[in-house]
Structures are given as structure tokens and as C-alpha cells.
Amino acid sequence: MSRTRQLAGTGLFEATVPRYTSYPTAPHFGATDPHRTERWLGALPAGARLSLYLHIPFCERLCWFCACRTQGVRRPEPVAAYVDSLKAEIEMLAARVPPDSRVVRVHWGGGTPTILTPVQIGDLAAHLAAAFRLDPGREFAVEIDPTVTGPDRIAALARAGMTRASIGIQDFDPRIQAAIGRRQSVGQTAETVRHLRAHGIASLNADIVYGLPHQTVPGIAESTARVLGLAPDRVALFGYAHVPWAARRQRMIDANALPGAPARLALMEAAEAMFLGAGYRALGIDHYALPGDGLAAAAAAGRMRRNFQGYTDDGADALIGLGASAISLYPGGYAQNAPATAAYAGRIRAGRLATARGHALRLEDRLRGALIERLLCDLEVDLPALAAAFGSVAALLEPEVARALERFRPWLTRRDGRLRLTPAGKPLARLVAAHFDAYLRRGTARHSGAI
Ligand code: SF4
């Protein structure tokens, strides 16, 4: 039997599952108020290492394929008002973390962070630096849209201390770009990369997407070759998530032009083969990095983590999300800000933290979350280590492990106590993770395809 048919037998091609950038996933958070967040902030250890995520939920135009929480904006006023809210939130949070805490990582994402003017970029960065103690060796990553990011903004970000740029590419094929509502030429992207390098930004991420309308194996190979020509040190190869019930703009995309699940697998593996052939290392389920990259080193040492930005080598004590819909992870659990910008700004104006939803982690959540995180980061799980860390509660996984070994044979194995996905079984990783998700069975949230 062919590998594709064997994989089909696991239900891979019909299954819809979360991406697991948290456990439980955000649809399973409950309504909450800011008091719990206040307590979690107050309980951070002395000298806490902090990671800050700033969400900029605005774009000049909305790309049809994108399911990010963002809104189109044509006037500068809403962005300026939002920056004021962010600055107020920065002050509120900085006043609540331990005074000797240090920020070791900053990430600006969106939406389009580069919708901010050079003056706003400098103002926001200066505000962060004044409010928090920033570690001199911090990483400062920014998501860059080459179609709206001119040299003036790159210069402003470089002055603000940006160390890593993450460039959205998707696919360079003009027919695909027309079908997903995002035009971005190779020349435009290369020009952005040239400006970034000229400003000393050595670390470059590129995001490309498989599973787009009209995408073919020769086509994705051509796009991948162009991406390799930009020499990013890290690449994320995401599967297009067609979720028009959650992202209405995706209704503009012709569902009949989308490749089916077996074709998606072929597209993903064609691009992957090219990255591996070019000397990149595979990290987790969908990232690739050159051997000298920090994330590659973290993965090799078993230190890679998974959070809302995807994979990270961030070892911070808390990830604090600022801005509308941003999610924080504290030692006690998750806290998500009000999703709508008006509701978020209203809370901040009233002098309150903007938490609207969240989840306090129980021991079983931590156990399942640890298993899922290790599986998606390392493609293997050290079960005795989990038992040592979590004690008797780990025993509740045993029947589920036995069922998983049965269901995913021969791709999932157990040897020397380690649950391991074989290299050929990597496409099953999210489906295996879902097998251990206790919330998925209770919820009604709809998800994207498992491959
Ligand atoms: S892909 Fe980027 S620019 Fe396009 S809608 Fe999404 S966040 Fe905005």
C-alpha cells in the first residue's frame, strides 16, 4: 500500500484539528476579569525574565487568505489612537511586574506593525524602553509586509533596535497572488530584504504557504527557489487554513481551486525537500533553519518551545501580550485581552487591564500541554520524564498512549519509554496531538485541516 493511502487510513486527510500554539487552545478559554491577571503579574518571581508581544491589528488592505485578527484602515487616526492605548497599557503592566524584571524578547506582530509611521515606531519603542528594563541582549522581532514597508520604516525599526525581521511571502506566483488577494512581487520583496540587510538586520524569517488555490508542485518549487535566493536563516512553511466561517474575507477565495489534502501533503513535502537540500534543518512540524540559527540550536538541545508566535527559543518566565486580542502566558495560565479594538481601548482608558478571557492551568492541563508541546517541537515525547515531572496524574495518559500507538501504527512508536513519530509520520503530528486534547472532544469550535 502506498504511504499516502496508509496515511489516509489514519483519518489525516479528513481531520480538522487546532494548530496547538497553546493548550488548551484559545476557543476553550472562558470569560474572566482582570483581577486574576493582576494576581498573576504580582506573583511573578523576582528578577523575572519577560517576553513582550505587541499586537498591531491594522492593515492597509485585507488579504483574502489571511485569518489574522486585524482590520483594514485607510485613515491615520485609528492607528494613532491605538498607539496611545498601547502606551497606556505598557505603563500599566510595567507598574505591576517585579521592579527587577528584565525584558529579554520583544515581538511586534499583527496585522501590519509597519503600518506605524517612523515617528510612531520610535515613540512606541522609546515608551517600552522607558517603562521596562530591557535586557541589552534582547531579541526584537518585527513582522514586515514588503508591500507597505519603505526604507524610512526599516530605518526607524533599525534605530529602535530591531534584530530580526519576519517577512510574509506566501507564494510568488502572480496567478496565486491574484486568487488570494495579495500582490507582492519578487523584486519588491528582494528590495525589502536589501534594505534590512543594509541596516544590519542579520536575522531574517520568511513565511511561505502551501495549500493555496492553483498551487502545484512545480509552482511551489519555483517559489521556494526564489525564497532560498533571499537567504533567510529561518523559514516557516505554513499550511493555508481555509476557515471562511471564522475569517469572512476567505469567502473571496474559490474553494474549488484549493488543492485537496493529498495534494497539500505533496506540496508541503516538495518545499520541505528543497529546504533540506539547501542545508536547512527541519524544526518541529513546519519550520526550517540554517544550522547556525538560534532556533536550530534550541531544537537540537530540546529547548525549543511553541507559543502564539509559532516556535521559539524564548525561555522567559512570562509572555505578556499587549494590544487588542493579545494573549499572555503567565505561570498560572492564559489571559487574553478584549478582541475588539474599541473594547480594548475602553478598558485601558478606564485604567483597567484589558483581560477579557483566559484559563487558569490545572495540573492535567500542564501534563497534556507538555506532551503536546514536546510532540510538536521534538516529534517525540519522553514519557518517563513526564511521569517524573507530573507524578501520579501522568498515569491517566497510559490508555490514551496505547490507543494512539494502535491508531497511528507504524508511524508512532514507543521505545525506551519514548513516544516517537517516525520521519515519514511527521504529517500526522497535529492529529496525534489532538488525540491527547481533552477539550477538543467537548468543544464545538471548528478547525482547519490536519495537513
Ligand atoms: S496577510 Fe498581513 S497584510 Fe494581509 S491581511 Fe493578513 S496581516 Fe494584514
pLDDT level of residue 37 (50, 70, 90 thresholds) = very high
Of the three residues 274, 304, 322, the one that is the final residue of a domain is: 322
Question: Are residues 370 and 222 part of one domain?
Answer: no
Alpha carbon of 66 to ligand 1 centroid (Å): 6
d(CA 310, CA 282): 14
Q: Given this model, what pLDDT does residue 335 score? A: 98
Q: Given this model, what pLDDT does residue 350 score? A: 97
Q: Kindly give the residue spans of alpha helices, DSSP state H, lying in 239-306.
A: 261-277, 294-300
Question: Are residues 161 and 43 part of one domain?
Answer: yes
Question: Are residues 311 and 383 part of one domain?
Answer: no
Asked whether residue 80 is assigned to any structural domain, the reply reads yes
The kind and range of the H/E element at 278 are none
Question: Are residues 153 and 251 part of one domain?
Answer: yes
Domain CATH number, residue 216: 3.80.30.20
Domain CATH number, residue 396: 1.10.10.920
Question: Are residues 394 and 296 part of one domain?
Answer: no
Residues in the annotated binding site for S-adenosyl-L-methionine: 53, 65-67, 110-112, 143, 170, 182, 207, 241, 327
Q: Given this model, what pLDDT does residue 441 score? A: 78
Question: Are residues 390 and 245 part of one domain?
Answer: no
Question: Are residues 104 and 236 part of one domain?
Answer: yes
Q: Given this model, what pLDDT does residue 388 score? A: 97
Q: What confidence tens digit (pLDDT) does each residue in 63-102 have?
A: 999 998 899 999 999 999 999 999 999 999 999 999 999 9
Q: What confidence tens digit (pLDDT) does each residue in 329-384 have?
A: 999 999 999 999 999 999 999 999 999 999 999 999 999 999 999 999 999 999 99
Asked whether residue 12 is assigned to any structural domain, the reply reads no
Q: Tally the domains of the chain.
A: 2
Question: Are residues 289 and 177 part of one domain?
Answer: yes
Give CA 193 to chain center in angstroms.
Answer: 21
What's the ipTM?
Answer: 0.99
Asked whether residue 49 is assigned to any structural domain, the reply reads yes
Residue 409 has pLDDT above 90, yes or no: yes
Alpha carbon of 112 to ligand 1 centroid (Å): 6
Residues in the annotated binding site: 53, 59, 63, 65-67, 110-112, 143, 170, 182, 207, 241, 327
Question: Are residues 154 and 41 part of one domain?
Answer: yes
Residue 34 has pLDDT above 80, yes or no: yes
The DSSP letter of residue 217 is: H
Asked whether residue 9 is assigned to any structural domain, the reply reads no
Q: Quick count: other Cβ atoms within 10 Å of Cβ 442? A: 9
d(CA 376, CA 284): 6
Give percent of the chain with pLDDT exceeding 90.
93
Asked whether residue 78 is assigned to any structural domain, the reply reads yes
Question: Which residues line ligand 1 at a C-beta cut-off of 6 Å?
Answer: 59, 62-63, 66, 68, 70, 110-112, 145, 168, 182
Residue 443 has pLDDT above 80, yes or no: no
Asked whether residue 68 is assigned to any structural domain, the reply reads yes
Question: Are residues 384 and 257 part of one domain?
Answer: no
Average pLDDT, the chain: 96
Q: Given this model, what pLDDT does residue 119 score? A: 98
Give percent of the chain with pLDDT exceeding 70.
100
Asked whether residue 207 is assigned to any structural domain, the reply reads yes
The strand pair at 203-210 and 234-239 is best described as parallel
Q: Given this model, what pLDDT does residue 447 score? A: 86
Residue 1 has pLDDT above 80, yes or no: no
Question: Are residues 164 and 47 part of one domain?
Answer: yes
Alpha carbon of 335 to ligand 1 centroid (Å): 24
* 3-state secondary structure (DSSP) of residue 265: helix
Question: Are residues 284 and 190 part of one domain?
Answer: yes
| Domain coverage including residue 415 | 362-439
Which of 145, 167, 180, 243 to mutate to test ligand 1, by most ligand atoms within 8 A of the CB atom?
145
d(CA 336, CA 325): 6
Of the three residues 302, 322, 342, the one that is the final residue of a domain is: 322
Asked whether residue 5 is assigned to any structural domain, the reply reads no
